[in-house]
Amino acid sequence: MNIEEHREFCLTGIMSSLRLWVADVMNLLSPNCCAICGSHLCPSEQKLCARCLLSLDYLPERDFYDNPSARLFWGKVAVERAHSHLLYRSSSAVSTLLMQLKYNHRPDLGLWLGRQMAHELQPRGFFEGIDGIVPVPLAWQRLLKRGYNQSLMLARGVSEVTGLPVVADMVRRKRNNPSQTRLSGEERIQNAQDLFVACKKERHHHVLLVDDVLTTSATLVSCAQAISMANAGMRFSILTLGRAH
């Protein structure tokens, strides 16, 4: 990395941190503020202002069976449908939104985002045949520190719109694996191997796995494989809020 690239990298990090700091302060002063920019919301706005809502990078995945998200699972685990809602890039509005969801005690944001995804996907038949929603579980250490599982909040939001039950006890995380934020693709795969264990056999036949961000698919593949070991013939679909660039 040359001097100019290093300077740009540092400036981008500072601006991202400043944006998060402003949003945090505004959220403390008034709960009726945009989760991204911190501006006061109009009566017709929820969680995000109109400008930030329009600035999000939405993914145009019109085919649930063959798209960049679905292809990440090819040859690893059979997935019937896959959809990621937003394109995740570091130091972007989507990045700030995810930071707020995961680290700023905003479970309400997860519920709202889950509802938004479900409202978009339900008319397109995405949930047909699915009989349960399984959020990817957190390790108990992270759950205790954070206070909630952001994937569970997204799943509950989807459930509120679709009426599908959330099955949060189908699978558990066996260990608190290191954060995958700074890991390479190969390291992420190794980090997620043998990470989950199914808790019990289920009456469900087709479950929707819900997570916050899809990167290499390693975590979701490991989760699906654990469930399959205890539930032969289980079918899977995938829904994530974001997909890494």
Q: Please give the model's pTM, rounded to 2 decimal places.
A: 0.81
Q: Is the pLDDT of residue 38 over 90?
A: yes
CB 153 within 8 A of CB 100: no
Burial of 232 (0-12, 13-18, 19+ CB in 10 A): exposed
Note the pLDDT of residue 2. 53
The angle at the Cα of 62, spanning 61 to 68, to the nearest 5 degrees, equals: 35
Q: Can you spell out the DSSP letters for 91-113?
A: TSHHHHHHHHHHHTT-HHHHHHH
The CATH number covering residue 183 comes to: 3.40.50
| Short-list 207, 142, 129, 194, CA closest to 168 | 207
Indicate if 63 and 178 belong to the same structural domain. yes
What average pLDDT does the segment 114-124 reach? 97
Q: Is 27 left (phi over 0), alpha (psi -120 to 50) or beta?
A: alpha
| Short-list 124, 197, 115, CA closest to 164 | 115
Q: Residue 9 — pLDDT band, cuts 50, 70, 90?
A: very low
Indicate if 62 and 169 belong to the same structural domain. yes
Indicate if 235 and 181 belong to the same structural domain. yes
Indicate if 40 and 60 belong to the same structural domain. no
In angstroms, what CA-CA distances link 176 with 139, 181, 182? Answer: 5, 14, 16
Which of 69-78, 90-99, 101-110, 192-201 bottoms out in mean pLDDT, i.e. has the lowest?
Answer: 192-201
Count the domains in the chain: 2
Indicate if 92 and 196 belong to the same structural domain. yes
Indicate if 137 and 238 belong to the same structural domain. yes
Indicate if 95 and 68 belong to the same structural domain. yes
Indicate if 15 and 82 belong to the same structural domain. no
Indicate if 64 and 48 belong to the same structural domain. no
Indicate if 236 and 129 belong to the same structural domain. yes
Summary mean pLDDT of the chain: 86
Q: Residue 192 — pLDDT band, cuts 50, 70, 90?
A: low
| Short-list 215, 185, 3, 232, CA closest to 90 | 215
What average pLDDT does the segment 21-34 reach? 62
Of 30, 52, 74, the domain-final residue: 52
Domain that holds residue 37: 1-52
- For residue 25, which amino acid is it? V
Note the pLDDT of residue 123. 97
